[in-house]
Structure 1
Amino acid sequence: MITLSQAACAVLNAADPAEKCRLTRDYAADWREGRIAEVGDTLPPDRPARPERPLLLPPKEMPRRSYGGDRGRIGLIHALAHIELNAIDLGWDIVARFAHETLPRDFASDWVQVALDEVEHFEMLERLLASLGAGYGDLPAHDGLWQAAEKTADDILARLVVVPMTLEARGCDTTPATMEKLARNGDNLTPPALDIIYHDEIRHVAAGVRWFTHVAKKRGLDPKTAYQERMRERYPAGLKPPFNHQARAEAAFPRDWYEEMARA
């Protein structure tokens, strides 16, 4: 019988997106139903396997995205699909990379569920691309999300701060305006998909805040101070307002933690 960290590595080493999604579903069910019983201690690879396409570029080298019409929608949906594919790996990576933290079983369960949510998001966006005559891999994508993972591989608190508590929280800030803009432009297919992602992201941010607080207190740290210190160290550009305070409140993200880190 394999451990959950071995299962995580199998997902991370699967280059084909469809296989990555299938394995996530299978292993999530095995964990939930007790066929996988132990987290284990198998370390994940430094980088997950990736398909030959899309071409991965540094963020600064990405071509300017077109806006408006089907071409603009394809560009947006493709970029989001790429984020969701990375997010599947991030969910599994945090389970295996920080298994040595000896956290409660619920920690692993939360991030397995996050990975499963990201599978649903990725496949939903793939279907939208197909409806527009496109597919994942048709456009270049940037590697910024996994670079953030690499920079936080040494500290679970830093990973929680940068990924769910900053990058996913930023999605909660910006998604409602994106949905409104798309709807105004006559798009009645993309906003419902983004609404599903938006509400799942609130739960993901909540998991980040909850486990960050747990680990900080376990280490004898003040959670707010620990959060702000790691923001300064790992995200020196600072946060960009405006914030979706309602969504962040639903995620139990204290307003004074993040608002003090906003750019002047």
Structure 2
Amino acid sequence: MSSPSVSGAIASALAESEPSAKVMAARRVAREWRKGRLPFRFDVAMPDVPGRPARPELLPPTKMPKRGRGQSLKGRIALFHALAHIEFVAIDLALDMAGRFGGEMGKDFVSDFLSVAADEAMHFVLLERRLRALGSFYGDLPAHGGLWDAAGETRHDVAARLAVVPMVLEARGLDVTPTTIERMRSAGDSAGVRILERILDDEIRHVRVGANHFAEVCERRGKSPDSTWKTLVKKHFRGRVSGPFNDSARNAAGLSRELYAGIAY
């Protein structure tokens, strides 16, 4: 009997709905791929919508309760819950990237995004543990219901997916996380500070992975990365690209000020 393909293993991980099962599945796929145990075959389609737990309740952005500034216990719980949900969805976004576009993009692309998926799974675990230490848990509060929308909007084109997910959505985390770290430090939450610093370091690398593969796609297609990125973001991203920007972190991630300044407002 032949081994399960990498696409089959990824699709199975995406289908997991229970958080701890999805975390373990994402880590397992990344490990099995790294050890050469998953054949490079793309014979299983990715689901349009990944598995989701019964909780948290998913709400439209306009219905989400305001979190405040996050320094009180209640505010910190709300903040870490929101971040845990972002990381949970990020596991699926990275898995889907590898499984949906890996056949087209090649083994290095699969390796990169399975590594990202494993990182996001680790981030989720750290945040969920912090929630429990604060007396809460993932699923205890409502969460943003639109985070998967970017995947559906860009499922037809790897360039569009790379332009929107790593280079806009994840890049926004580079902008806001330093301020969040300082709020946690002011609140005396040293454990939260350490978690957020680890996430920020990893996300710089994740954005750089996305930017590098985007540049490769554009080179293959004979297009300018800057103008192509701006065109794809205007077409496929429903939100706003707005500052303030963390220029140093973005530059470390391969995003020049000139790239996003022309589209920001």
Task: Sort the TM-score into its range (normalised by shorter chain).
Answer: over 0.9
1:235-254 map, 5 Å: 235=237, 237-254=239-256
Distance 2:203 2:242 in 1: 18
User: What's the counterpart of residue 118 of structure 2?
Assistant: 116
TM-score scaled by length of structure 2? 0.95
Q: Deviations over 1:96-120 (max 9, x none)?
A: 112342x231100000000000011
Same amino acid, percent of matched pairs = 45
TM-score scaled by length of structure 1? 0.96
User: What's the counterpart of residue 192 of structure 2?
Assistant: 190
Q: Deviations over 1:107-137 (max 9, x none)?
A: 0000000000001100000110110111100
Distance 1:124 1:52 in 2: 21
User: What's the counterpart of residue 92 of structure 1?
Assistant: 95
Q: Deviations over 1:140-169 (max 9, x none)?
A: 101221011111111111111111000110
1:174-253 map, 5 Å: 174-235=176-237, 237-253=239-255
Whichever residue aligns with residue 79 of structure 2, its letter is L
Contact preservation (8 Å) 2:170, 2:207:
yes
Distance 1:39 1:75 in 2: 41
Cα–Cα, structure 1 residues 39 and 91, in superposed 2: closer, same or farther, change >3 Å? Answer: farther
Whichever residue aligns with residue 132 of structure 2, its letter is A
Cα–Cα, structure 1 residues 160 and 179, in superposed 2: closer, same or farther, change >3 Å? Answer: same
Distance 2:250 2:102 in 1: 27
**Which sits farther off after the overlay, 144-153 or 200-209?**
144-153
Residue ranges of structure 1 left out of the alignment (5+ in a row):
none
Q: Deviations over 1:184-214 (max 9, x none)?
A: 1222221110000001000000011000010
Distance 1:236 1:53 in 2: 26
Describe the SS at the equivalent of 1:122: helix
Distance 1:236 1:121 in 2: 26
Distance 1:235 1:40 in 2: 28
User: What's the counterpart of residue 12 of structure 1?
Assistant: 14
Contact preservation (8 Å) 2:71, 2:184:
no
Contact preservation (8 Å) 2:162, 2:214:
yes
Whichever residue aligns with residue 171 of structure 2, its letter is A
User: What's the counterpart of residue 60 of structure 2?
Assistant: 58
Please state how far the C-alpha of 1:65 moved relative to its aligned partner. 2.1
Distance 2:129 2:256 in 1: 36
Cα–Cα, structure 1 residues 112 and 39, in superposed 2: closer, same or farther, change >3 Å? Answer: farther
User: What's the counterpart of residue 83 of structure 1?
Assistant: 86
Residue ranges of structure 2 left out of the alignment (5+ in a row):
none
Whichever residue aligns with residue 38 of structure 2, its letter is I
Distance 2:222 2:28 in 1: 37
Whichever residue aligns with residue 203 of structure 1, its letter is R
Whichever residue aligns with residue 175 of structure 1, its letter is T
Please state how far the C-alpha of 1:41 moved relative to its aligned partner. 3.4
Describe the SS at the equivalent of 1:144: coil
RMSD (Å), alpha carbons: 1.3
Q: Deviations over 1:63-95 (max 9, x none)?
A: 222443111110000000000000001111011
Cα–Cα, structure 1 residues 238 and 51, in superposed 2: closer, same or farther, change >3 Å? Answer: closer
User: What's the counterpart of residue 127 of structure 1?
Assistant: 129
Please state how far the C-alpha of 1:9 moved relative to its aligned partner. 0.5
Distance 2:239 2:203 in 1: 22
Distance 1:195 1:68 in 2: 17
Distance 1:236 1:120 in 2: 29
